[in-house]
Structure 1
């Protein structure tokens, strides 16, 4: 019960409830009950029954009985309307789809559905008020549930309320004076170019076919853009193959195919230069006898050229009930023209346009500092397929595949070395300056550099799950979070701007009404006040500094998870360190064995049996020692962990224990001969593990951990940047704690702590008036990290948990970058304060100079845009702070 139109001359034939159009003189009867397709040639319909459920669009004539559209005409049907080629349809029914050109209704077939999220990169914003304008402009649209714009990252996040069109969003943003570039959100969502479609039913056919494949989760094909967005679990080759079965050609668009940088606006520079020349000619002409009409024309042309974009943006800002700088500048320029100050008006818009270009150029440097991280990993990898090496985009490489990395190449994905050995420069991820030796079984990270040998590695993570991808994601999230200072400034600006705007209106109207001066004089002062109402320099002073600092830290192997934590790091004056694995290597070694009531091998065997079920680092050390010595474990049962003291197990019918002195004191075992030996060993900074039963001590095993080579230098660096209190927290005994503290030069230590005792130590430091940071591994020290003012985790490159739990993550497994982090944070706080005070002073001086008539309009513009450029350049100094 459908009509099908084909691609050349069609000659219909009649069969009960179906009409088919056929190529040339060939008869064709293809019965389809529900769906029609639209094609490209001419159609001739003679006698045809009315379709019950659907109509199709073709390319030339319209069917008189069914209102099917062929080409330019409108199709109307009982349930579905379909419009083709040119004219848009009147959407009076339930659903509409458009085939090619004009259509104001979002295309359901090519878009995410209700509740779906889409992200865009927005280009052209030069002040946080621009972000507010875009938000308000989009939030008024019925098919958008929520729109959020973050100026720092230049990202727009959309949540759909109804069917959502990518094209319509971009169009709306363009109307507001900006450009938007969609970003892929779903980690399994990929974008393909599809070649060969000539109508929207082709797109629908591809969707229907791919939706039948179990490994395809979602698919949306947009005929007008020729793009297919698809979430799939099978390979890229499989998708390309499936699309080719339908007669189309699909090719994957990688992230690197999309430019992440703001396009160079050479045309903008040309317009600014041209309008500047016109203003200069007009100014010179006014002093050389050129007619006033000619100079006015020159100024007017310059105003149109430089002022078109801000006036257009101001129009949409007003529609969105947003009072941004475009509104204020446009009002000032137009007002100046109306009172005959053409030179002032032209200068206002020219300086404003020039300031925006300079701001955009400067702010883009901070954004690029993060986006450059994306370029660290190569876009392609050499994949081993049998005996061949095939070059593939990293997006097409699956977990488990083998890739080959040659000397000097960057590693494209995270993986495990299965053949070869090399030295890897991990600085892009961890910030470590010294390359690390890698052997078979070692993990390597995307973006790091293979310096020496050729290696083969098995891929362990997809491109979107690599450590580098997580770093980029966390840093961008951090940039989107407002610091307390930034939130306060935004609130201040939201109050300041309308107050000054209202004051400007009062200045324009009230004094001349009461005879204090002329209308022209007070209108001019009011316009200058409008310009001064722009808080751009003030609002931009904090976020640019924060983004610059976070970007600098990320390049040096430190993840700061937001402006809040950056500010906290700058205020820290005490740092508490977990000892094991933080100040020390965390890889203790057995340094001595003293058997008392048994043989040495028997003692080691008992220790092996007891400690094999423990996860404590010292237990693991003893187990490894026993294995290296070839000692066999005994049969044990009823294993039990005694928190903070040791372990127990039943061996050969007797309960045996391994633990510290306190454990055997609680068991009331005689320690007369043992206590002095234990205390002597502990005084040497070693940890003692006692082996015995409830009746006797069988022997002592001593274990020692060594201080990291980077620890002493790092702690010295912290003292240099003004951290007065360096505190060590450890569960070890007093002797070990004292020895390690002497080696590392910490100010004080807390020894023999259980995990909950570390929380108490942090609270004690806070009660003493310190702002305390806690440094640990992000897992065992979670309570203390949460209690401290700032939680810092180490070794984020290998630990997902560390990335998730801490406020700051040191990607390398050492403290080397901690002094840099504190120094950078303090520098950032200083620059933020400088920017805020500078912006406020400039505004205050401008306000004061308005009323005596000393502040001209162009000076007012210069005070705003010039101040904004200066605070941005000041903030950019944070990118240069050395690690």
Structure 2
């Protein structure tokens, strides 16, 4: 019977550490193959091999038994993979972080979804759903929902609107500005005092004199009318939204708070304060909106590397077209100073390419016909012609930008906390304000001689409402994380979510791959040792090079390149088979050749000498004759020592090395770099098991273990780490797909840089939470005892929001004055 691929959801597992033991039990079941156990998602992906005696139900019972050996209540449920659609919409004009949270909460209740995020920082509504009908009608459905919260937001399909460019900053509507200044005009008219014309406005000095004496100033009917008109014109936008919310039943936002506070001030004869609440709130909102727009501008500038047009060559003519219309196989022309718009291969011309947009380093790389080029590189030399290999949606830069933008779908715990906090904070504070307002009435019931007045308590309640708006937190925290992800992408470090950025602050253990990570991956045969009388060193070298011709491993590729790829005749190579972590077999000119380590030799019943030399030992056999071995060497990266030292300074307790190389080679690298533990001669699945053992050594539940590899042969172990980092992933689709953090260059110092950005981002998040909550709680307590003026209340809302937003963007300046220029000479 044929293999049946199944996916199961594992339920009722109490301790994830038992998964390592469960995996061992599953591997004992002979009817299972391709076992993939995802501990974080509690998913088992496996191939079932049913027989006439053992059907699928019996195999599933064996899986259940294996689970329950260590988890008594655990079980499996078949997971049905449904077709899903992903839609991204632009919420143009969303200027309120609280509104974004309310839209997200309402959408979660309304729409069937697998994933749903409203990202205030990039103004995007992202939904993944298995409801295909909803996917087709998502634009009108979301528009209807969004307009319940704010009818001024314009919902646009991201496919019909290009990414927001840096210069596209939303401006305040002229009508809002005009109405605001009309209101200010009426405010000024309220101070006009001309007795002869019976205009008895506010006498400013008389009012200030009474104010400092602690006495109330009585307003004339003229002043009350002009102040009321000033209030209506200045606060028109806020008041109208407040009225709309009343009809939709959606209150407890900043419009409700400010309008209620102002109306309360008017009814308690504090008309001037009512106008001032609205005026300063509007001024603060304008400044806040400009700050948010500036922040968005800074972030989008980091992501504006994508070219929109390409010069398509058709015969002898060159036409400028949109990149979406260029197909693989087309020839495009790139002039000096222009960005390469699509991935491809140079077919004409020589040049130098600046890779800064991809790697974060100004690296000038030589390129000639046959050289691979990637979108985002800048042509610094002559005109080149490029044969396109990938469509625009599959290009390297497009994938990078999409990944950075989608980072907002994976939220940090701090963001989730703020969203929940804002949901309850405003209603609770509003309820407290109501209690403060009616407190004198309650006291009067028990004490008729009480001096407390309703007017004073309503005024205090009004101040309470002004203070209670949570915008500072709701806006600044997501901006802090997204700014951190943005500056990291500018530096060639792609972080897939703020949850990973947050996790990088709790790194206790670091696990390194060796080849291509701590070492340069520039391999060469250092020594050839024939062990058969009829075999020369030249013939042994030739057999190794021929054997490695089709290998995709960095060692094999380097050996072939060193020997000379053009010296090899691939037509005499047949039946090539590669054994992960061990070596290869091939038929060369009709003879069976095997090249590999001692483990592969032992599996095939060859006795080989024990070689104690620094480097990787590759043994060679022909048919059933052992011919000898070659020693393959590698070079430790120049920056490796400094990187290890920097990690220890950052509080990393233990550093480990996992490698498939021989023990001697691994230990020599570990000793040179002062690495704590080294585990050698590991197969890919053994690396995963060893990593899980290392993770179990973390001293606290918050502690994280990160794995750093080159993303080529260590995909399983990268995906198994708390945070998996892939190095040198320029153009590697596999690494970009698998890793949680992708470092586009092969510079190890970027690891320390990643941790520095994570630390700075967390500092700003903590500062903003402390600043916002600290000031608000302090002013709220003062407000209860009536010692707060309306001006301090307004500052605690709008002023704190503005300060928090500006503070959040400080991470953008982390590497502002640092420049890197590395030039690669042409070979």
Query: Normalising by the residue count of structure 2, what TM-score does the alignment of the two structures yield?
Result: 0.76
Asked if 1 retains the 8 angstrom alpha-carbon contact of 2:94 and 2:153, the reply is no
Q: In structure 2, how many angstroms separate the alpha carbons of the residues matched to 1:136 and 1:739? A: 55
Q: 1:660 aligns with which of 565, 587, 597?
A: 597
Query: Residue 580 of structure 1 aligns with which residue?
Result: 515
1:523 and 2:458 are equivalent in the alignment: yes
Q: In structure 1, how many angstroms separate the alpha carbons of the residues matched to 2:113 and 2:268? A: 42
Query: Residue 262 of structure 1 aligns with which residue?
Result: 170
Q: 1:785 aligns with which of 668, 693, 718?
A: 718
Q: In structure 2, how many angstroms separate the alpha carbons of the residues matched to 1:802 and 1:558? A: 13
* 1:765-792 CA-partner distances (Å, limit 9, x unpaired): 3333262110123352222223321111
Q: Are residues 444 and 279 of structure 1, via their aligned partners in 2, closer, same or farther at CA, if it must alter by over 3 Å?
A: farther
- Once the two structures are TM-superposed, the CA of residue 147 in structure 1 deviates from its matched residue by 8.8
Aligned partner of residue 362 in structure 2, secondary structure? coil
1:368 and 2:297 are equivalent in the alignment: yes
Q: Are residues 403 and 636 of structure 1, via their aligned partners in 2, closer, same or farther at CA, if it must alter by over 3 Å?
A: closer
Structure showing greater radius of gyration is 1
Query: Residue 238 of structure 1 aligns with which residue?
Result: none
1:833 and 2:761 are equivalent in the alignment: no
Q: Are residues 267 and 748 of structure 1, via their aligned partners in 2, closer, same or farther at CA, if it must alter by over 3 Å?
A: farther
Aligned partner of residue 795 in structure 1, secondary structure? coil
Asked if 1 retains the 8 angstrom alpha-carbon contact of 2:586 and 2:594, the reply is yes
- Once the two structures are TM-superposed, the CA of residue 661 in structure 1 deviates from its matched residue by 3.3
Query: Residue 150 of structure 1 aligns with which residue?
Result: 119
Query: Residue 499 of structure 2 aligns with which residue?
Result: 564
Q: In structure 2, how many angstroms separate the alpha carbons of the residues matched to 1:437 and 1:643? A: 33
- Once the two structures are TM-superposed, the CA of residue 178 in structure 1 deviates from its matched residue by 5.4
- Contiguous gaps of at least 5 residues in structure 2: 1-83, 193-201, 208-218, 445-449, 819-827
Q: In structure 2, how many angstroms separate the alpha carbons of the residues matched to 1:118 and 1:603? A: 57
Q: In structure 1, how many angstroms separate the alpha carbons of the residues matched to 2:753 and 2:487? A: 10
- Once the two structures are TM-superposed, the CA of residue 690 in structure 1 deviates from its matched residue by 1.6
Query: Residue 541 of structure 2 aligns with which residue?
Result: 604
- Once the two structures are TM-superposed, the CA of residue 342 in structure 1 deviates from its matched residue by 0.7
Alignment of 1:39-438 (within 5 A): 119-134=88-103, 149-156=118-125, 176-177=149-150, 179-185=152-158, 260-265=168-173, 268=176, 272=180, 275-276=183-184, 279=187, 282=190, 285-288=202-205, 292-318=220-246, 319-373=248-302, 375-438=304-367
- Once the two structures are TM-superposed, the CA of residue 503 in structure 1 deviates from its matched residue by 2.0
Asked if 1 retains the 8 angstrom alpha-carbon contact of 2:302 and 2:486, the reply is no
Q: In structure 2, how many angstroms separate the alpha carbons of the residues matched to 1:758 and 1:308? A: 64
Q: In structure 1, how many angstroms separate the alpha carbons of the residues matched to 2:607 and 2:740? A: 48
- Once the two structures are TM-superposed, the CA of residue 537 in structure 1 deviates from its matched residue by 2.0
Query: Residue 773 of structure 1 aligns with which residue?
Result: 706
Asked if 2 retains the 8 angstrom alpha-carbon contact of 1:557 and 1:810, the reply is yes
1:617 and 2:574 are equivalent in the alignment: no
Asked if 2 retains the 8 angstrom alpha-carbon contact of 1:120 and 1:180, the reply is no
Asked if 2 retains the 8 angstrom alpha-carbon contact of 1:534 and 1:864, the reply is yes
Q: Are residues 146 and 308 of structure 1, via their aligned partners in 2, closer, same or farther at CA, if it must alter by over 3 Å?
A: farther
Q: Are residues 120 and 261 of structure 1, via their aligned partners in 2, closer, same or farther at CA, if it must alter by over 3 Å?
A: farther
1:554 and 2:489 are equivalent in the alignment: yes
Q: In structure 2, how many angstroms separate the alpha carbons of the residues matched to 1:615 and 1:512? A: 82
- Once the two structures are TM-superposed, the CA of residue 627 in structure 1 deviates from its matched residue by 4.8
- Once the two structures are TM-superposed, the CA of residue 688 in structure 1 deviates from its matched residue by 1.4
Q: Are residues 872 and 737 of structure 1, via their aligned partners in 2, closer, same or farther at CA, if it must alter by over 3 Å?
A: same
Asked if 1 retains the 8 angstrom alpha-carbon contact of 2:332 and 2:385, the reply is yes
- Once the two structures are TM-superposed, the CA of residue 608 in structure 1 deviates from its matched residue by 4.4
Q: In structure 1, how many angstroms separate the alpha carbons of the residues matched to 2:369 and 2:574? A: 36
- Once the two structures are TM-superposed, the CA of residue 836 in structure 1 deviates from its matched residue by 1.1
Asked if 2 retains the 8 angstrom alpha-carbon contact of 1:119 and 1:157, the reply is yes
Q: In structure 2, how many angstroms separate the alpha carbons of the residues matched to 1:813 and 1:797? A: 9
The number of residues matched between the two structures is: 696
Q: Are residues 788 and 395 of structure 1, via their aligned partners in 2, closer, same or farther at CA, if it must alter by over 3 Å?
A: closer
Q: In structure 2, how many angstroms separate the alpha carbons of the residues matched to 1:161 and 1:626? A: 58
Alpha-carbon RMSD: 3.7
Which has the higher mean CA deviation after the structures are superposed, 487-496 or 130-139?
130-139
- Once the two structures are TM-superposed, the CA of residue 564 in structure 1 deviates from its matched residue by 0.6
Q: Are residues 623 and 311 of structure 1, via their aligned partners in 2, closer, same or farther at CA, if it must alter by over 3 Å?
A: same
Q: Are residues 264 and 322 of structure 1, via their aligned partners in 2, closer, same or farther at CA, if it must alter by over 3 Å?
A: closer
- Once the two structures are TM-superposed, the CA of residue 693 in structure 1 deviates from its matched residue by 6.2
Q: Are residues 647 and 400 of structure 1, via their aligned partners in 2, closer, same or farther at CA, if it must alter by over 3 Å?
A: closer
Q: Are residues 386 and 572 of structure 1, via their aligned partners in 2, closer, same or farther at CA, if it must alter by over 3 Å?
A: same
Asked if 1 retains the 8 angstrom alpha-carbon contact of 2:166 and 2:298, the reply is no
Asked if 1 retains the 8 angstrom alpha-carbon contact of 2:342 and 2:390, the reply is yes
Query: Residue 741 of structure 2 aligns with which residue?
Result: 808
Asked if 1 retains the 8 angstrom alpha-carbon contact of 2:345 and 2:371, the reply is yes
* 1:60-96 CA-partner distances (Å, limit 9, x unpaired): xxxxxxxxxxxxxxxxxxxxxxxxxxxxxxxxxxxxx
Asked if 2 retains the 8 angstrom alpha-carbon contact of 1:421 and 1:455, the reply is yes
Q: Are residues 175 and 289 of structure 1, via their aligned partners in 2, closer, same or farther at CA, if it must alter by over 3 Å?
A: farther
Alignment of 1:462-473 (within 5 A): 462-473=391-402
Aligned partner of residue 375 in structure 1, secondary structure? coil
Q: In structure 1, how many angstroms separate the alpha carbons of the residues matched to 2:587 and 2:342? A: 47
Asked if 2 retains the 8 angstrom alpha-carbon contact of 1:504 and 1:530, the reply is yes
Bigger helix share: 2
- Once the two structures are TM-superposed, the CA of residue 449 in structure 1 deviates from its matched residue by 1.5
Q: In structure 2, how many angstroms separate the alpha carbons of the residues matched to 1:821 and 1:538? A: 25
Asked if 1 retains the 8 angstrom alpha-carbon contact of 2:352 and 2:367, the reply is yes
- Once the two structures are TM-superposed, the CA of residue 183 in structure 1 deviates from its matched residue by 4.0
Q: In structure 2, how many angstroms separate the alpha carbons of the residues matched to 1:357 and 1:798? A: 43
Asked if 2 retains the 8 angstrom alpha-carbon contact of 1:594 and 1:701, the reply is yes
Alignment of 1:843-858 (within 5 A): 843-858=776-791
Query: Residue 797 of structure 1 aligns with which residue?
Result: 730
Alignment of 1:427-506 (within 5 A): 427-506=356-435
* 1:584-604 CA-partner distances (Å, limit 9, x unpaired): 222311222122211223323
Query: Residue 205 of structure 1 aligns with which residue?
Result: none
Which has the higher mean CA deviation after the structures are superposed, 305-314 or 117-126?
117-126
Q: 2:474 aligns with which of 539, 546, 550?
A: 539
Q: Are residues 264 and 585 of structure 1, via their aligned partners in 2, closer, same or farther at CA, if it must alter by over 3 Å?
A: farther
Q: Are residues 182 and 449 of structure 1, via their aligned partners in 2, closer, same or farther at CA, if it must alter by over 3 Å?
A: farther
* 1:178-200 CA-partner distances (Å, limit 9, x unpaired): 544454455xxxx5xxxxxxxxx
- Once the two structures are TM-superposed, the CA of residue 653 in structure 1 deviates from its matched residue by 9.0
- Once the two structures are TM-superposed, the CA of residue 519 in structure 1 deviates from its matched residue by 1.5
Asked if 1 retains the 8 angstrom alpha-carbon contact of 2:307 and 2:376, the reply is yes
* 1:285-318 CA-partner distances (Å, limit 9, x unpaired): 3425696333333422331122111122223333
- Once the two structures are TM-superposed, the CA of residue 878 in structure 1 deviates from its matched residue by 0.9
Q: In structure 2, how many angstroms separate the alpha carbons of the residues matched to 1:609 and 1:144? A: 53
Q: Are residues 300 and 824 of structure 1, via their aligned partners in 2, closer, same or farther at CA, if it must alter by over 3 Å?
A: same
Q: In structure 2, how many angstroms separate the alpha carbons of the residues matched to 1:654 and 1:629? A: 22
Q: Are residues 871 and 648 of structure 1, via their aligned partners in 2, closer, same or farther at CA, if it must alter by over 3 Å?
A: same
* 1:792-850 CA-partner distances (Å, limit 9, x unpaired): 11233301221121111112233342221100101111111111122221121122111
Query: Residue 756 of structure 2 aligns with which residue?
Result: 823
Q: Are residues 538 and 180 of structure 1, via their aligned partners in 2, closer, same or farther at CA, if it must alter by over 3 Å?
A: closer
Q: Are residues 668 and 470 of structure 1, via their aligned partners in 2, closer, same or farther at CA, if it must alter by over 3 Å?
A: closer
Indicate the structure whose relative CO is greater, using CA pairs within 8 Å and at least 6 residues apart: 2
Aligned partner of residue 435 in structure 1, secondary structure? strand
1:590 and 2:525 are equivalent in the alignment: yes
